[in-house]
Homo-oligomer: A and B are copies of this chain.
Amino acid sequence: MPIYNAPAKDLQFVLHNLLKVSEQDIEGYADLEADFTGAVIEEAGKIATNVLAPLNAVGDKEGCVLENGVVRTPKGFQEAFDQMRDGGWTALDCDPAYGGQGLPYVMNTAAQEPFVSSNMAFNMYQGLTHGAYSAINVHGSDELKEKFLPKMVTCEWTGTMNLTEPHCGTDLGLMRTKAVPQENGTYKISGQKIFISAGDHDMADNIIHLVLAKIPGGPDGIKGVSLFIVPKFIVNEDGSLGDRNGVSVGKIEEKMGIHGNSTCVMDYDDAEGYLLGTEHKGMRAMFVMMNEARLGVGLQGYAQAEAAYQNAVAYANDRLQGRAVTGVENPDGPADPLIVHPDIRRNLMEQKSFIEGARALTLWGANLIDRAHRNKDADADGLVSLLTPVIKGFQTDKGFEYAVAAQQVFGGHGYIEETGVSQFARDARIAMIYEGANGVQALDLVGRKLAQDGGKHVMAFFEMIKTFIKENEGNEALKADFLDPLKAASKDLQAAGMYFMQNGMTNPNNALSGSYDFMHMMGHVCLGLMWAKMGKAAMEALEAGADDKAFYETKIATGRYYMARQLPTTAMHLARINTGADTVMALDADQF
């Protein structure tokens, strides 16, 4: 069975050495002392290791089953879900007014990582609920909030997001689901939604569906879409559950992975729904949660890679095969462990240096979301909006790539399901697709975010890098290994942005043909910035005489790997971008 242990020390390093959260002037951050965050992470890690990880393969093997209109989750899920509820893990950053603990989002994000690594499919039940909770919390009337939120905070009731229909995913303006206004102020919802994660299951008394639908007579396309609350069971005035609403499961999809999560076709047939927010402003209501939701998916990317990496390291240390080219290292054994071989190391260093960089970027993103929300800081909001498609798109592409790379360490044993590493790759695959396929993230980044507020946020991002380099270039230890590569990569990224400006006006295809490369390039620059800062933080810890020297030395060595071997990728992306649209758009559709 695969192993999993929460990277508690590394999460703490990011929170305290890199972000110095308890020193930040954000409401609630003063409480985030190292002892406190360490205790939370340790407890989350225990549940991940002892409760969730053992159920990961069970969920993959059993999957969810639809029987007589009821979805059965895999054996053990119900008990584990009870434990999550009872421990208050579903409520960490929820509003205390509805029973939440009111902790900052950055704390919740750090605590989530072990849950996602150990059992991504399981964790989606609470993840989706959290998304629905946020939508209602931001857009709901007091009445709706009081009716639904307390039970959602505890996950006694879970939530879903219903966007996709058979004929439309990205292009939601084509939506056909209808919401007909009733005299009593409710709506009758009818239509079919597909790919609804956690759409139905047996672990909660009620399921609160958030459903996008069109009110007849409203504007065409995306501007006529509204958001509704549609509970599985009608909630009576006294809070008790009433009749079954007009919503049912059409089928459960068979998928490449995340078998433990029920992906449902949901059929709405005159279901009673309640308008959330304003008529026809449903997309705006959805967008409010999008940074959080996409950051959560970006976390899934590196968290699956982390789980796969831990197992690859264990296997590489355990499996004896061949001899080190520089001389026998395990003379008493029949062969040396795999980890002596340079190409195995290269593979593991790729994984490790990505994962730790992505962890830093994700928690920084969560930190910016806190600053935006709690301090009403528009600059932080703009910056995290810029970073969001990168966190989602880059990290899920790479997360899958490295889960596959971890599988490769196992050789043939990685292809059979018995060892469990194939599951990490199959589960990670979905993160590249949902919450906006990664091509759409790239389009969002280049088509919208770069130019947002007159390009203010991307300029601020470059300025931040420049300032950091300037402030630290006297630091010899940092300069050659960290600052110089960061400077070069950042220059490449700026040159790509310049290319888009100069060539995208006359033909937008020149920019959009390079959007995917730009997203990856920016991902590398972001991780380069994280590594430069982490390198500095680790050096400072060593200078301050930190106890665990090996940890900080490892951190610096891992950062050096990233800067030397991953950052050069930016030059390749720039070269590709600079070729523009000509070769990309050369063929007619029928020439493919």
A550-567 contact mask (Cβ, 8 Å, vs B): 1 or 0: 100110011011001100
Q: Does A513 lie at the interface of the complex (its beta carbon under 8 Å from any beta carbon of B)?
A: yes
Interface string of A572-592 (1 = CB under 8 A from B): 100110010111111101011
Q: How far apart are the CA atoms of A59 and B439 in the complex, in Å?
A: 32
Kindly provide the distance from the CB of A484 to the nearest chain B CB, expressed in whole angstroms.
Answer: 13
Does A144 lie at the interface of the complex (its beta carbon under 8 Å from any beta carbon of B)? no
Q: Is A416 an interface residue (CB 8 A)?
A: yes
A418 touches B254 (CB 8 A): yes
Once bound together, how far apart are the Cα atoms of A443 and B340, in whole Å? 14
Check if A9 is an interface residue, CB within 8 A of chain B: no
User: Chain B's nearest CB lies how many Å from the CB of A454?
Assistant: 21
In the complex, which residues of chain B have a beta carbon less than 8 angstroms from the beta carbon of A561? Answer: 583-584, 586
B418 adjacent to A432 (CB under 8 Å): no
Enumerate A435-465 residues with CB–CB distance to B below 8 Å.
437-439, 442-443, 447
Q: Which of B195, B408, B585 contacts A433 (CB 8 A)?
A: B408
Q: Scoring A residues 243 to 260 as 1 if CB is less than 8 Å from chain B, else 0, what string do you get? A: 000000000011111000
Q: Could you tell me the distance in whole angstroms from the C-beta of A571 to the nearest C-beta in chain B? A: 6
From residue A549, how far is it (CB to closest CB) to chain B in Å?
Answer: 11
The interface bits of chain A over 339-359 (1 if a CB of B lies within 8 angstroms of the residue's CB, else 0) are 111111111110010000000
Give the nearest-CB partner of A553 in chain B: B591
Which stretch (A39-47, A113-121, A154-162, A167-175) binds chain B? A167-175
- A589 near B512 with CB under 8 A, answer no
**A313 contacts partner chain B, Cβ-Cβ < 8 Å:** yes
Q: Which residues of B contact A581 (CB under 8 A)?
A: 342
The answer to whether A591 and B550 touch across the interface, beta carbons within 8 angstroms, is yes
Known: A342-B581, A349-B584, A565-B583. A415 touches B437 (CB 8 A): no
With A345-B513, A439-B408 known as contacts, the answer to whether A560 contacts B583 (CB < 8 A) is yes
Q: Does A335 contact B (CB under 8 A)?
A: yes
- Give every chain B residue within 8 A of A167 (Cβ-Cβ): 320
Q: Are A512 and B571 in contact (CB under 8 A)?
A: no
Cβ of A193 to closest chain B Cβ, rounded Å: 12
Q: Are B565 and A170 in contact (CB under 8 A)?
A: no
Contacts of A411 in B (CB 8 A): 169-170, 433, 437
Whole-angstrom distance between the Cβ of A402 and the nearest chain B Cβ: 13
Tell me which residues across on chain B come within 8 A of A174, comparing CB atoms. Answer: 320-321, 334-335
For the complex, is A76 an interface residue (Cβ under 8 Å from B)? no
Q: Does A507 sit at the interface, judged by CB under 8 A? A: yes
- The answer to whether A342 and B515 touch (CB under 8 A), given A349-B584, A426-B256, A592-B348, is yes
Q: How distant is the Cα of A426 from the Cα of B414 in the complex, in angstroms?
A: 12
Q: What chain B residues lie within 8 Å of A569 (beta carbons)?
A: 572
A401's nearest neighbour on chain B, judged by CB, is: B401
Complex Cα distance, B322 from A568, in Å, reads 35
A508 sits at the interface (CB 8 A): yes
In the bound complex, CA of A195 to CA of B415 (Å) = 10
Does A331 sit within 8 A of B, measured CB to CB? no
Distance to closest chain B CB from A313 (angstroms)? 5
Selected from B254, B341, B437, the residue in CB contact (under 8 A) with A512 is B341
**Interchain nearest-CB distance for A470 vs B (Å):** 25
In the bound complex, CA of A508 to CA of B326 (Å): 7
A337 in the interface, Cβ–Cβ < 8 Å?
A: yes
Bitwise, A494-525 to B at CB < 8 A (1) or not (0) is 00000000000001110011011000000000
* A544 interface hit (Cβ, 8 Å): no
In the assembled complex, the CB of A513 is this many whole angstroms from the nearest CB of chain B, namely 4
Q: A256-B422, A321-B169, A321-B170 are in contact. Are A565 and B579 (CB under 8 A)?
A: yes
Give chain B nearest CB distance to A257 CB in angstroms. Answer: 8
**Is B585 a contact partner of A345 (Cβ separation < 8 A)?**
yes
Q: How far is the CA of A545 from the CA of B339 in the complex (A)?
A: 58
Chain B residues whose CB sits within 8 angstroms of the CB of A130 once the complex forms: none
What sequence of 0s and 1s flags, for each residue 120-161 of chain A, a beta carbon within 8 Å of any chain B beta carbon?
000000000000000000000000000000000000000000
The one of B325, B438, B512, B591 in contact with A342, judged by C-beta atoms closer than 8 angstroms, is: B512
Q: Provide the bound-state CA to CA distance between A313 and B591, in Å.
A: 10
Smallest CB gap from A334: residue in B: B174
Indicate whether A417 reaches chain B with its CB closer than 8 angstroms: yes
A591 in contact with B430 given A341-B512, A583-B561 (CB within 8 Å): no
Minimum CB–CB distance from A352 to chain B (whole Å) comes to: 7
Known: A256-B415, A317-B589, A322-B170. A343 touches B565 (CB 8 A): no
Tell me, rounded to whole Å, the shortest Cβ–Cβ distance linking A94 to chain B. 29
Kindly name the residue among A169, A339, A412, A554 whose own CB sees the greatest number of chain B CB atoms within 10 A: A412
In angstroms, Cα B341 to Cα A565, docked, is 32
Assuming the A-B contacts A346-B513, A509-B325, A584-B342, are A437 and B422 also in contact, with contact meaning beta carbons closer than 8 angstroms in the complex?
no
Judging by beta carbons under 8 Å apart, are A592 and B339 in contact?
yes
Say yes or no: is A392 at the interface (Cβ < 8 Å to chain B). Answer: no
A407 contact set on B, CB distance < 8 A: 429
B414:A433 contact, CB within 8 angstroms: yes
Taking CB atoms, residues of chain B closer than 8 Å to A553 are: 591
What 10 A-B pairs are tightest by C-beta distance, nearest first?
A568-B575, A342-B512, A572-B572, A561-B583, A557-B586, A256-B422, A171-B321, A343-B439, A564-B579, A254-B417
- Listed A/B pairs (9) with beta-carbon separation below 8 Å: A164-B412, A170-B411, A174-B320, A325-B508, A408-B432, A414-B433, A426-B426, A560-B583, A564-B582
